Structure 1
């Protein structure tokens, strides 16, 4: 488990002569009811500035990505299943505002395969839709994973401090994966495709405990695109120790599949539901292994343009044959010893499964046909 998962919301801001600088945090944070001194040099967000921003009762942030679904961090929740214990608060910047919208949860979907490293996202389904509130726009690719980002949260004014009553905001610059890893310690294990770093080299501006699950956005042509989810960091606002965020673009396909699963989105021509197995399965030399997902809640046949998203970590993918096996035993070859010495398969295949019943146990079979190179099935998703 990486250090300082950010499960208590706040922003650390330090100002000198009106310029954000490094090297300090509030020595004696004031009480959360005092908006004037809670965050040194902080800026209070205006009502409606981040309308999709959500405060969750377990002490995390989130973003409204569907009228009935909140996106947050996987480490903010205890797992997947029915859950009525979480209250989402939104529509305000002051948590004591009597006009706040409050809705309880009904179900939580934690990222399949989450084990404390990467994949730090979760979806919370609400008991009823929140209407007339703008939704967060998620990054679907990495084109906006750079530049200057917006961060926001309701938390402590300093490392280990008390959380906030008022929503605060700040800006932080992108930090490359290489620079982030060079910070050492927990940062050396950064998951490139699933984590993105941001912060000032000299420190002084950061998210911290309790901001977990909240969004990091980039403003593009007047629209804020959510590029990150507050995840972890070593301390808060320390020089050379940036904030680490779940990289939305790197996990968008899985987040979207989970969202479709919770909302029952059904595109024409098929069930439209997605099913994921994120449990690692080792692939030894000259061995055939399988990973299973069980499709349910569908009626009739699968789509003629079903999707199979495959993530396999393996050196020399020319050793591999990857096959989708339908519940009735029909086989659909996805990858047949192509790619030569290239490493890893990260590919979405379109398959005509219109002759197959959607419900049932589907298997991804991976056959290693040579020696010297091994790997694992990391995660795969079937959309029928």
Structure 2
């Protein structure tokens, strides 16, 4: 269940070593223009969106706190509130992290508060068939992977949590639909699943991994449910 980030770190290292022209225009074997997989360029800035320098995503939930995935490992800084993972927004230095034992949920603390507006956190899981928006800088195609500089998004349906049990999910996690041409992918780990409308988003989950035991992209995606951990998050952050 931790392959989304482990592969992403390898991709990040390769990207630092080599620059490939035209990478954003790569296509899948079917000829479909790929995005997050199957989504499109972000339609708004998303003030709470975080690009971590470990290759993962995250969500700002308080002026000094980021929610992300434990399996992403350590990060020294995060870029907040920019659709470009390399420029813009605010860059915050991470001075400590707090892992919730037995889960894939981590809080990262910023040494200085940022001005960006945090995202609201869900107090209950969205019902099946609710539309959720996934955000990230992960692979835009699979198995041939290219990663974008500009944030991508895709709207997919929430499934019953049991649909992701094969991937290790529990009743408090959020399962999001996906298939070969529409899903989260490697590099999206730790990033958000949100519900709502433009400028009024609520965080319902952070990207954990594939929703089945295949361990790859192009399938349903398992998100660590925010609602089941809300009390712990509030206790740690004071939100």
TM-score tier after normalising by the smaller chain length: 0.7 to 0.9
C-alpha distance in 1, partners of 2:146/2:198? 35
Alignment of 1:263-342 (within 5 A): none
1:242 corresponds to which of 204, 220, 224: 220
- Aligned-CA RMSD value: 2.5
Deviation at 1:180, TM superposition (A): 2.9
The answer to whether the 8 A contact 1:87-1:103 is kept is: yes
Are positions 1:151 and 2:134 aligned together?
A: yes
1:138 corresponds to which of 111, 116, 121: 121
Deviation at 1:3, TM superposition (A): 5.5
Q: Secondary structure at the match of 1:255?
A: helix
Aligned length: 215
Q: Secondary structure at the match of 1:205?
A: coil
C-alpha distance in 1, partners of 2:62/2:170? 27
How does the TM-score come out when normalised to structure 2?
0.80
1:128 alignment counterpart: 112
2:196 corresponds to which of 219, 223, 231: 219
Q: Secondary structure at the match of 1:253?
A: helix
Q: Secondary structure at the match of 1:258?
A: helix
More strand by share: 1
More helix by share: 2
1:89 alignment counterpart: 79
- Please list every run of 5 or more consecutive structure 2 residues that lacks an aligned counterpart in the other structure: 10-18, 28-32
Is the alpha carbon distance of 1:145 and 1:77 closer, same or farther for their aligned partners in structure 2, counting shifts above 3 Å? farther
The answer to whether the 8 A contact 2:85-2:149 is kept is: yes
Is the alpha carbon distance of 1:95 and 1:172 closer, same or farther for their aligned partners in structure 2, counting shifts above 3 Å? same
C-alpha distance in 1, partners of 2:109/2:54? 15
How does the TM-score come out when normalised to structure 1?
0.51
C-alpha distance in 2, partners of 1:107/1:254? 17
Q: Secondary structure at the match of 1:151?
A: strand
1:70 alignment counterpart: 66
Are positions 1:173 and 2:151 aligned together?
A: no
The answer to whether the 8 A contact 1:33-1:165 is kept is: no
Q: Secondary structure at the match of 2:24?
A: coil
1:162 alignment counterpart: 146
Q: Relative to structure 2, which stretch is displaced further, 67-76 or 34-43?
A: 34-43
CA offsets 1:30-87 (integer angstroms, 9 cap, x no match): 9487434476254111342x12100000011001111111111111125xxxxxx511
Structure 1 stretches of 4+ with a deviation exceeding 3 A read: 30-39
Q: Secondary structure at the match of 1:92?
A: coil
The answer to whether the 8 A contact 2:162-2:170 is kept is: no
The structure with more radius of gyration? 1
Is the alpha carbon distance of 1:67 and 1:3 closer, same or farther for their aligned partners in structure 2, counting shifts above 3 Å? closer
Alignment of 1:18-37 (within 5 A): 31=20, 34-37=23-26
Deviation at 1:210, TM superposition (A): 1.2
Deviation at 1:191, TM superposition (A): 1.7
1:206 alignment counterpart: 183
Are positions 1:106 and 2:84 aligned together?
A: no
Deviation at 1:91, TM superposition (A): 2.6
C-alpha distance in 2, partners of 1:253/1:101? 28
- Please list every run of 5 or more consecutive structure 1 residues that lacks an aligned counterpart in the other structure: 10-29, 79-84, 266-384
The answer to whether the 8 A contact 1:68-1:127 is kept is: yes
Greater relative contact order: 1 or 2 (C-alpha under 8 angstroms, separation 6 or more)?
2
Deviation at 1:218, TM superposition (A): 0.8
